[in-house]
Structure 1
């Protein structure tokens, strides 16, 4: 834990200003208040599901959150030059377009209906929904990395680094008792496991644990593009322009992707996103965030499966 506090202190010395953090907090509070008072995402944006305008509405939400927080940072740090930098617009625009398409992607619905005559529609739908990020996020960012960035750095933190992994493992271990306790709550078991018996195993003539295992691999994969874009592309990549200031705008946008979930989860994402952003910047790797995210997700799935048994 000493390494964690050391990295946090180092980051705060480089980036913290009371006026900056207060202004960002007020901006975030305004976004949260508007979303949860008017139910913006669930009642308005998601009303356009399976509509070509759906990704565009997500783009408007995410661009407002991100560029608003970047403006606050550049204002207090007197870095108006950032807005005149072609690289900033190219990098931020790529991130916004990719994630907005990812959030409003609906082609997997058609794929699931057409493959195998739609007989395993539900199973394929949930698998494809988690895997579509290969096309919408991972591939575009890899093309950006190879064709535009052309930097000697690893692919936005995807290379494993030993630094910090022990700390991440300890943090994950501390979550095990909390997950175990939560698994005894009725509302937890209403949401987990996310895997449901769809009779896909009967169609493919395999034991059910095989289809459950395939689903869980797809479910775990969906955390990879999230870490790659937010902690990799927006922190490690954007730090070339903003330095440690890349973390704060990322956190605001990261909170915005949780607007369709309970308020407590959206608020907690602020603290989790900030911590993971600082550690990614320190270790130059996103593997710690992947370890925690996927570990917690699979831990909740396993706990729910055990409770069912």
Structure 2
């Protein structure tokens, strides 16, 4: 924990201003209140599912959350020069366009209908839904890294580093009792495991654990592009422009991608996103965030599988 507190202190010493953090908290609260009062994502944006305007609406939501947060940081830190930076607009534009296409991507539905003549549609849909980020997030960021970004020494935190891994492992270990306790709650078992029995194992002539394992690997993968974009590209990559100021705007946008989740999860994403952002900036690696995210996700899946196996 000593490393954690030291990194947090160093970050706060450079970036913290009471007026800035208060204004950002108010802005995030307004976004949360507006979304959960009007049900912006579920009732409005997602009503256009599968239509060309769907990713455009996501772009409007995410760009509003992100750019207002950047404006707050530049205002309180007296950095109007950021808005004249071509590098800032290029990086933020790539991030916003990539993630908005990812959020509003629906081609995998048609792919699933065509794959094996649609005989394993449900299984294929959920696997491809988790894998489409290879095209919509990972590929654009890799092309940007390879051909546009002359300053990146690694692929936005994907290079493994040992610093902080013990801390991340300890944080994950602390979650095990909480996951175990949660697994005894009825509402938990209504949501988990996210894997559901399909006809895929019968179609392929394999035991169900094989198709469950394939699904869980696809499910775990979906956390990789999230960490790559938010902690890798928007913090490690954007720190070239914003320095320590890359963290706060990322946190507000990261909260916005949780608008379709329960309110408690959306609120907690602010604190978790901030902590992971600071540690990513310090370690220049996203592996800790991946360890926690995938570890918790698979931990909840395993706990739910065990609970249902005993009933």
> Shorter-chain-normalised TM-score: which range?
over 0.9
Query: How big is the alpha-carbon RMSD for the aligned residues of Structure 1 and Structure 2?
Result: 0.5
Deviations 1:184-226 (A, max 9, x none): 0000000000000101000000110000000000000000000
Aligned residue for 1:111? 111
Aligned residue for 2:187? 187
How far does residue 152 in structure 1 lie from its aligned partner after superposition? Answer: 4.8
Contact 2:152 2:237 in 1 (8 A): no
Query: Within the alignment, does 1:149 sit opposite 2:119 as a pair?
Result: no
For residues 175 and 33 of structure 1, the distance between their equivalents in structure 2, rounded to whole angstroms, comes to: 28
Aligned residue for 1:158? 158
Aligned residue for 2:129? 129
Aligned residue for 1:219? 219
Query: Within the alignment, does 1:258 sit opposite 2:258 as a pair?
Result: yes
Aligned residue for 1:8? 8
| 2:13 aligned counterpart, secondary structure | helix
Aligned residue for 2:55? 55
Aligned residue for 1:73? 73
For residues 186 and 255 of structure 1, the distance between their equivalents in structure 2, rounded to whole angstroms, comes to: 26
Aligned residue for 1:97? 97
For residues 224 and 150 of structure 1, the distance between their equivalents in structure 2, rounded to whole angstroms, comes to: 23
Aligned residue for 1:43? 43
Deviations 1:211-260 (A, max 9, x none): 00000000000000000000000000000111101000000000000001
How far does residue 151 in structure 1 lie from its aligned partner after superposition? Answer: 2.7
Aligned residue for 2:304? 304
For residues 196 and 38 of structure 2, the distance between their equivalents in structure 1, rounded to whole angstroms, comes to: 32
For residues 88 and 11 of structure 1, the distance between their equivalents in structure 2, rounded to whole angstroms, comes to: 21
For residues 84 and 35 of structure 1, the distance between their equivalents in structure 2, rounded to whole angstroms, comes to: 31
Aligned residue for 1:171? 171
For residues 182 and 77 of structure 2, the distance between their equivalents in structure 1, rounded to whole angstroms, comes to: 43
Deviations 1:54-113 (A, max 9, x none): 000000000000000000000001110000010000000000000000000000000000
What stretches of structure 1 of length at least 5 have no aligned partner?
none
For residues 192 and 263 of structure 1, the distance between their equivalents in structure 2, rounded to whole angstroms, comes to: 18
How far does residue 153 in structure 1 lie from its aligned partner after superposition? Answer: 1.3
Aligned residue for 1:283? 283
Structure 2 length-normalised TM: 0.99
For residues 62 and 265 of structure 1, the distance between their equivalents in structure 2, rounded to whole angstroms, comes to: 18
For residues 231 and 202 of structure 2, the distance between their equivalents in structure 1, rounded to whole angstroms, comes to: 40
For residues 273 and 198 of structure 1, the distance between their equivalents in structure 2, rounded to whole angstroms, comes to: 34
For residues 85 and 301 of structure 1, the distance between their equivalents in structure 2, rounded to whole angstroms, comes to: 44
- Work out the number of aligned pairs and report it: 309
For residues 288 and 131 of structure 1, the distance between their equivalents in structure 2, rounded to whole angstroms, comes to: 21
Closer, same or farther: CA 15–218 of 1 in aligned 2, 3 Å: same
Deviations 1:264-296 (A, max 9, x none): 100000000000000000100000000000000
Structure 1 length-normalised TM: 0.99
| 2:155 aligned counterpart, secondary structure | coil
